[in-house]
Amino acid sequence: MDNQPLIQPNLSQEKKAASILDLSAIKAWFMPHRILLIVITLGSIAGLVNNLSWYWIPEYQDAILEGLWRTLILLVTSFITGFLLAIPIGLVQVTGPSFLAKLAQSFCTLIRGTPLLLQIWLLYYGVGSIFPEIDWLRESFLWPYLTDAWPYAFIALTLSVAAYEGEIMRGAFAGVPNGELEAAKAFGMPPFKILSRIWLPRAIQRTLPVIGGEVILQLKATPLVATITLIDTYAVFSKIRQETYIVYEPLLLMTGIYLFLAGIIALLFHYLEKRNGAR
């Protein structure tokens, strides 16, 4: 079982994050050492619950839920928008005219070569500092949006997804067997139909496991928006720590929440893969 090479004819070596939970291993949960590990884990969780102070939870319950909601909204919207941008970015690098391919490539290098935190700050503090100097903007309907942190966080996260996923989609588009595209052409499909019916679905199908990992990476990137005054899960817990002077408990609960979210995403993609995976 250990000898079979796990390296698949790979789409790209980029930030590869394998799916986190392996459901096929459920049977193996009942080996003696695993039962022991589970007992230890449950025991230590019970110990934490009993011995540490959690009195602040009811008080902050609503704030936590609201933060969680913000995190999720930001994750879902930025990932979907970013992915929609990533499709053309990947595609032009495979078939597009060379200047578009170069442009897409430079965009990916630029975003992937700098830290996301810096991009968020560059947008919010840097670009955001230009807007007040433009007079007509202040009267325009855009102004309330430009002074809010939301759009900056959303744009930064979206661009990041677009670049990382664009690179992955490039590999995925290139990896679809040529014969399938030729077959579609032989049926007289117009180019757009080939893309929407054959090329894109096949590319996405082949990248599903990678995309699952990418969504989790994106989830892990969302706390960065707390640094530009957005109140997401991370920010809510920072506030709790500041107001109650409790060091560990909020950190532990926050860690638990992120683990839980990542687990859900992994399960979701595991299900998607099982239903639509490449065979």
Partner 1 sequence: MFIDYQSMSVWQLLAFEAPGWGGTLLSGLLLSLEIAILGFLFGLVIGFLGALGKLGNSIVCRDLWACYTTAVRAIPELVLILLIYFALPNLLNSLLSLLGISNIEINGFIAGVLVISFVQGAYATEVIRSAMLAIPAGQIEAAHAFAMPKYKILYRISLPAMLPHALPGLSNLWLIATKDTALLAVVGFTELTLAARQAAGATKEQLLFLTVAGGLYLCISLVSDALFKYFIRRSNKGQMHG
**Residue 66 makes contact with partner 1 by CB under 8 A:** no
Pick 40 or 57: Cβ nearer partner 1: 40
Residue of 279, 109, 93 lying closest to 173 (CA atoms): 93
**Residue 6 makes contact with partner 1 by CB under 8 A:** yes
**Residue 269 makes contact with partner 1 by CB under 8 A:** no
Q: Which of 224, 230, 236, 240 binds partner 1 (CB under 8 A)?
A: 224
**Residue 131 makes contact with partner 1 by CB under 8 A:** no
CA distance 166 to 95: 14
- Number of residues interacting with partner 1: please give it, by CB under 8 A: 56
**Residue 227 makes contact with partner 1 by CB under 8 A:** yes
The least distance separating partner 1 from the CB of residue 128, rounded to whole angstroms, comes to 8
Pick 119 or 158: Cβ nearer partner 1: 119
User: What H or E segment, with its residue span, contains residue 27?
Assistant: none
The least distance separating partner 1 from the CB of residue 263, rounded to whole angstroms, comes to 7
**Binding region for partner 1 (CB under 8 A):** 2-7, 13-18, 20-21, 31, 33-34, 37, 109-110, 112-119, 121-122, 125-130, 213, 216, 219-224, 227, 234, 247-248, 251, 254-255, 258-259, 262-263, 266
